[in-house]
Structure 1
Amino acid sequence: MNNRNRGKNTGDDILFGPDKQIDKLRLAVQDIHYLLSRGYAERASSELVGNRYKLKTRQIQAIRAASASEIQIEIRKSKQIEISDLKDRTIYLDGFNILILLESLLSEAYIFQGIDGCYRDLSGVHGTYKRVNQTQRSIELVSQFFQEANLQKLIWIFDKPVSNSGRIKQIILEFAVETQLNWEVELEFNPDKFLAENAEITASSDAWILDYCTKWFNLIDYLIQQEKLSVNLIRMA
């Protein structure tokens, strides 16, 4: 029996629970947005703003993930497509990005909606992917989207160097066979570059991918709205 969750870290309720902390984080995101829009580097901007507001490491992670420059927001919005655009199309999923975000969301971890409208969490793979209690439900949510969108095909892209990527590939393919879904799973050494260069439509919340991909769909936002998911959500804008 797998007893793992991808939920909150110890201390997250102190860092992200109180209204005064959220107000401070939103001000910090506004400041980073201002700096990024004027050409300042992301790391330098987040460290400067983090020092100003006396933020902890995980809070700085959150504001960095939620921030973007004005040009980045414009670029991302110009490439975003709607559910109605997906009928009979193929979509590529940024595998670990989408899967871990859904697992975190279902585990009641804090989820942050950035100023670009995308959702991000504070979990990471760190070289090894570990299946959790919410993995199966996360895959099922993607299958509901696949059917509701009337997609022709869905292709999961995972990081080949990450330990257990082959195992999650097997789990997803077995599920697809059982439920008769037209899914593929591919392992790539550089999935971000692959998605940016090869996918006509991508589902991801990774900032770099959103900046360089052809078109993208906000899958997490769709699932939250459509499936009425309960989310421990902090809107950063």
Structure 2
Amino acid sequence: MSNRNRGKNTGDEVLFGSGKQLDKLKSAVQDMHYLLSRKYAERAASELVGNHYRLKTRQIQAVRGAAASEFQLRNREAKEVQLQDLEDKIIYLDGFNVLILLESLLSGAYIFEGMDGCFRDLSGVHGTYKKVMQTPASIELVAEFFRKSGAAGLFWIFDKPVSNSGRIKQMILDFAVENDLNWSAGLEFNPDKFLAEGAEIAVSSDAWILDHCKSWFNLIGYLIREEKPAVNLVKIF
């Protein structure tokens, strides 16, 4: 097992750990929401807001993740399903999105609650996925949710171009066999498009997927409420 984890980056305490910084970030999210609601492109809006508040790159990333337009918020809310809606359904899970977010959460990294009620981190795959100490516990959290949901099955979707995606897919399948779970796993060249168009119920906090999918479930929100893991939660709106 790797001794890696996805904890805080050096400097994150300075960027997100003080009241002064959080006040600035909250104002930035509100300004970003205002601009997005008036159809400013996300990149242009984040540049304006970032320059105005003199934000660092990771702060801008957090603001972009937390903000959404009024239309996006209404659209996402209308498509969100609850735990009881999952009974006897097949759920499609955005593998790297969910897994890395849970690994970050369990590693003590900062987790950001967005205006849409979703939770996001500042990690990314960057072409290669590497298992960390918190990977088995993250998969077990998904298993706990699955057992309680009454869902008929769960399909993990991973990015085929990402290095080691085949290995984590096999790890998921092995875990499912060992624990008698009706899970499947697949690799897709464009998992976002697959989840948006091919999934009746998607599990992801990816903004594009939430905007384009048929319906979605807020897994991380559910786990934070129900399983109550220790979480370094930052609310910036």
Normalised by the shorter chain, which TM-score bucket? over 0.9
Q: Which residue of 2 aligns with 1:115?
A: 115
Kindly provide the amino acid, as one letter, of the partner of residue 125 in structure 2: V
Deviation at 1:229, TM superposition (A): 1.1
Counterparts of 2:111 and 2:19, CA distance in 1: 15
User: Any stretches of 5+ residues in structure 2 without a counterpart?
Assistant: none
4+ runs of 1 displaced by more than 2 Å? none
TM value normalised by structure 1: 0.99
Q: Which residue of 2 aligns with 1:133?
A: 133
Counterparts of 1:47 and 1:9, CA distance in 2: 23
Deviation at 1:2, TM superposition (A): 1.4
After superposition, what is the alpha-carbon deviation per residue over 1:169-215, rounded to whole angstroms, capped at 9, x for unaligned? 01110000000000000000000000000000000000000000000
Deviation at 1:63, TM superposition (A): 0.2
Counterparts of 2:45 and 2:215, CA distance in 1: 28
Counterparts of 1:22 and 1:176, CA distance in 2: 41
DSSP-derived class of the 2:97 partner: helix
User: Any stretches of 5+ residues in structure 1 without a counterpart?
Assistant: none
DSSP-derived class of the 2:10 partner: coil
Kindly provide the amino acid, as one letter, of the partner of residue 186 in structure 2: E
Deviation at 1:230, TM superposition (A): 1.0
Q: Which residue of 1 aligns with 2:28?
A: 28
Deviation at 1:236, TM superposition (A): 1.9
Q: Which residue of 2 aligns with 1:222?
A: 222
Query: C-alpha root-mean-square deviation of aligned residues, in Å?
Result: 0.5
**Count of residues in correspondence between the two structures:** 237
Q: Which residue of 1 aligns with 2:4?
A: 4
DSSP-derived class of the 1:93 partner: strand
Kindly provide the amino acid, as one letter, of the partner of residue 199 in structure 2: A
Kindly provide the amino acid, as one letter, of the partner of residue 220 in structure 1: I
Counterparts of 1:59 and 1:43, CA distance in 2: 14
Q: Does 1:202 align with 2:202?
A: yes
Q: Which residue of 2 aligns with 1:72?
A: 72
Counterparts of 2:138 and 2:208, CA distance in 1: 23
Counterparts of 2:192 and 2:56, CA distance in 1: 28
Q: Which residue of 1 aligns with 2:88?
A: 88
Counterparts of 2:47 and 2:12, CA distance in 1: 20
DSSP-derived class of the 1:181 partner: coil
Percent identity for Structure 1 against Structure 2: 70
Q: Which residue of 2 aligns with 1:177?
A: 177
DSSP-derived class of the 1:214 partner: coil
Kindly provide the amino acid, as one letter, of the partner of residue 5 in structure 1: N
Counterparts of 1:30 and 1:120, CA distance in 2: 17
Counterparts of 1:200 and 1:3, CA distance in 2: 37
DSSP-derived class of the 1:205 partner: coil
Kindly provide the amino acid, as one letter, of the partner of residue 161 in structure 1: P
DSSP-derived class of the 2:186 partner: strand
Q: Does 1:47 align with 2:78?
A: no
